[in-house]
Structure 1
Amino acid sequence: MTHELKYIVEQALWAKQNNIKSVLASVVALDGSSYRRPGVRMLVLEGGRMVGAVSGGCVEKEILLQSETVFKTGVSKIMTYDGRYRLGCEGILYILLEQFEPTEAFSSAFFSCLKERKPLEVWSYFNKKEGSVLGIGSVVKIEEKTFSISALGIGIDTTKQSVFKQKLPPCFKMVIVGAEHDAVQLCKYAALTGWEVTVIAGASESKSITDFPGAHAFYAQTPEQLGTQVIDEQTAVVLMSHNFANDLRYLVALKACKPAYIGLLGPARRREDMLSQFLEYCPDADEAFLDSIYGPAGINIGAETPQEIAVSIISEILAVTRQQEPIPLSQKTGCIHS
């Protein structure tokens, strides 16, 4: 969700620069089930343009209508949406609408936080009473500072309201080691997922970032030049140079890192050979590091094409990072979301 909030803030800043008001809509509570859970947000711009979504499409029209009073008065409000008879989700959404005009201090702290890959928190104060109410709204906590979302700075009453607290980690990142056609497809699909993608190509590769749609960064460098300090617990690495020796060198270069996931392309035999040689070079490798290595990368969905393989790899990364066992949802008992 961090990447969604980042895009919303970017669009709110654009709107402010163009003298266009914006209203932030946040799902702060849910009775029953819904398409998405509390913590999801969208932005409504004056004139009717919407950024993001909080459901499959039906709720957004009602949010657009309800936001009109917030544009006029600047007073935050709570709206509800009963999806039991319209969406088939069997739930009631409670949505906080508040005018959003990001200040320079907030935007500076927000983007510095993202760049430094630090977590942040959003606290939304609300009650389940429909209509415009003084004293409700959201604040963003960045390290030791707190910033109010409400553009008019209306005082939030923290003593009489319910509060929805959401801790947001750094934006998830993928590092792709390789520059062949399948790496291009994986880059595209990872970017569509909202991940920040860095592509690492061999030092002699005649390619650039323009060859990888959606990539945030591109480096042509040897394994020994790899900047491992930018690989953290919110990073997935996929080694797909199609060269055993190169992939092994990059794996050795990663030995001191703690990524969430390391994927190896190729059959199980290739993985076993690579791990065997890796342990010869790094006999004291951390067990947690070894546990983060998955090969062959991806889950078994019968993938054949580079695009399908990309879906398979991204699905496995999601399952690993969300601590889920990949099964058909039709076989899952209880709620879809925990």
Structure 2
Amino acid sequence: MAVLEHITALALRRHQQGQRVALATVMTTWGSAPRPVGAQMLICEDGSFHGSVSGGCVEGAVILEATEALETGQCRRLRYGVADADAFAVGLACGGEIELVVEPVGLGQGMDPTLLERLAEAQAARQPVGVQLDLVNWQRDLISPQTDPSVFEAGGGRRGDIFTHIQSVPLRLVIVGAVHIAQYLAPMAQLAGYLVTIIDPRDSFASPARFDGYEVIVDWPEEALTRMSLDRRTALVTLTHDPKMDTPALQYAVASDAFYIGALGSTRTHAKRRQSMLDQGMSPEQFARIQGPVGLDIGSRSPAEIALSILAAITAKLRGKADG
């Protein structure tokens, strides 16, 4: 399985390989539009496309528009919805409406490749960044939370003839323990949009053959985690059942900004873990951040089902549907 590339990085790579590419971005939505403001789709001259702007409803029409934009070098503003005469033809007859902008890269009115490079660099560094696009003269300005905090607080979208696209920090899942469950959880999380990192000091567990295409760190968790930042877009789960690996990872995680922390183990095991960690100086409030047993209670039995329950719990927390 290939390592997940987000749209910005993929667009830059394809452009650097000599392909003409265009980016389609959702600027505004009304009603039951299936994709949010900022959702993006990459269209390449070889006919391939990646990402989505409507979950499948209008992608065909957008690809045609992007193909023409690659020929002319002109950006395009598009609007699809139930009020349009071709609403049924493009498939957005559910009542929603979306407005898009299509930008060829390095052509005519399109985005300068150097700006795309800066966006990719910010994404790799896990730094939020934004672009303000003037829809009249097609000028673009890079913005940051430091220079324009109010814009980031308000979120992106179109206001008049100015479209602000906020490039958020990618979601990331850190899995401690290259065990059987991790072999199912990693691809599930990747398909859900997470960058996946697996940490395990055991070579036989953390082998490329078992986790091909994922970032695997062969080291003790307390060493590996000090080299990364567990920010508000990061979830961490421990799966080893071994306190020598799980406990240091959990101690590091509860002191971080990680939005979800989970630990594999039975209710009895979690109770013992709690007492042990409280004895080591962790506060009850900190320990309460750890979900254990990890995952939603869906009656899971197999490793794949347990992985599904874990991803469901992470999703519920991310979307504000979890208790606590």
TM-score of the pair, normalised by structure 2: 0.80
Contact kept? 2:81, 2:93, Cα under 8 Å: no
- Measured in 1, the distance between the counterparts of 2:99 and 2:58 equals 11
Equivalent residue letter for 1:324: K
1:280 alignment partner in structure 2? 279
Deviations 1:37-68 (A, max 9, x none): 22111122224322222123231111122224
User: Is 2:76–2:101's contact at 8 Å kept on the other side of the alignment?
Assistant: yes
Paired position in structure 1 for 2:156 = none
Q: State yes or no: 1:94 paired with 2:88.
A: no
2:223 corresponds to 1:225:
yes
Contact 2:183 2:210 in 1 (8 A): yes
- For residue 39 of structure 1, what is the aligned residue in structure 2? 38
Q: Secondary structure at the match of 1:61?
A: helix
Query: Per the alignment, do residues 275 and 309 of structure 1 end up closer, same or farther by CA in structure 2, a change over 3 Å counting?
Result: same
Aligned-partner Cα distance in 2 for 1:204–1:69: 51
- How much does 1:88 deviate? 4.0
Identify the residue that residue 314 of structure 1 maps to in structure 2.
311
Distance 1:80 1:162 in 2: 15
Is it true that 1:48 corresponds to 2:47 in the alignment?
A: yes
* Cα distance change, pair 64–117 in 1 and its aligned pair in 2 (3 A): closer
Aligned with residue 135 of structure 1, among 118, 134, 137: 137
Whole-Å Cα distance in 2 between the matches of residues 136 and 114 of structure 1?
Answer: 23
Consecutive unaligned residues in structure 2, runs of 5 or more = 149-158
More divergent stretch after superposition (173-182 vs 161-170): 161-170
Shift of 1:254: 4.0
- Compared CA separation, residues 140 and 313, structure 1 to 2 (3 A): farther
CA distance in structure 2 between the aligned counterparts of 1:318 and 1:138, rounded to whole angstroms: 34
1:30 aligns with 2:22: no
Q: Does 1:298 align with 2:303?
A: no
Matched, 1:123 2:132: yes
Measured at CA, do residues 103 and 124 of structure 1 come closer, stay the same or move farther in structure 2, by a change above 3 Å? closer
CA gap of 1:213–1:37, structure 2 versus 1, over 3 A, is same
AA matched with 2:81: D
Give the structure 2 partner of residue 331 of structure 1.
none
- Aligned partner of 1:335 in structure 2 is none
CA 1:179/1:282 → structure 2, altered by over 3 Å: closer, same or farther?
A: same
What is the letter of the counterpart of residue 110 of structure 1? L
Cα 1:54–1:206, aligned 2, differ >3 Å: closer, same or farther?
closer
For 2:222 and 2:76, the matched residues in 1 are separated by: 55
Distance in 2 between residues matched to 1:225 and 1:68, nearest whole Å: 48
RMSD across aligned positions (CA) = 3.1
Q: Look up the match of 1:324.
A: 321
Contact 2:262-2:290 within 8 A present in 1 as well: yes
| Contact residue 254 and residue 290 of structure 2 kept, 8 A | no
Where does residue 242 of structure 1 map in the other structure?
241
Query: Identical aligned pairs, as a percentage?
Result: 29
Residue 251 to residue 22, structure 1, CA distance change in 2 (3 Å): closer
TM-score by length of 1: 0.77
